[in-house]
Amino acid sequence: MKRSTVLMMMICSSMALAYCRQKDPKEIIPADEMKLILIDLTAATEWNNVLMAKDTALKNVKLNLQFYEGVFEKHHISKEQFYNSYNYYNARPDKMKALLDSTYAYSEKMKNQLIKKKR
């Protein structure tokens, strides 16, 4: 009985290890590209917020969607590709955390470079 339990544990752990080593599906945007898209989408949202704050007449216009479409065009992806990829990462907390950590680190690096250029 004890040998069968150990054998079952070995099989389960090897299956879990094989699952963890699987690569992302081809239709999923790679994390390095996704990081840049997320940064651009955040910038688009901020730009939209600045415009809305300056001109209250724009409140009814859906500029944010236009900005997002511009980001998707820039990165040669569709809205569906982005949301499918985002949902893929969101369903895998370890991958999402790595993506968000990478995005934050990259944005901090870019911010520091801009600060150095201004000096």
Average pLDDT over residues 92-99: 96
Contacts within 8 Å (CB) and 24+ apart, 95-104: 95/24, 95/31, 98/31, 99/31, 99/34, 99/35, 99/38, 102/31, 102/32, 102/35, 103/35, 103/38, 103/39
- Taking only the tens place, the pLDDT of each residue in 11-47 is 555 555 545 545 567 789 999 999 999 999 999 888 8
Question: What percentage of the chain exceeds 70 in pLDDT?
Answer: 73
Give the start-to-end residue ranges of the domains of the chain: 26-118
pTM here? 0.70
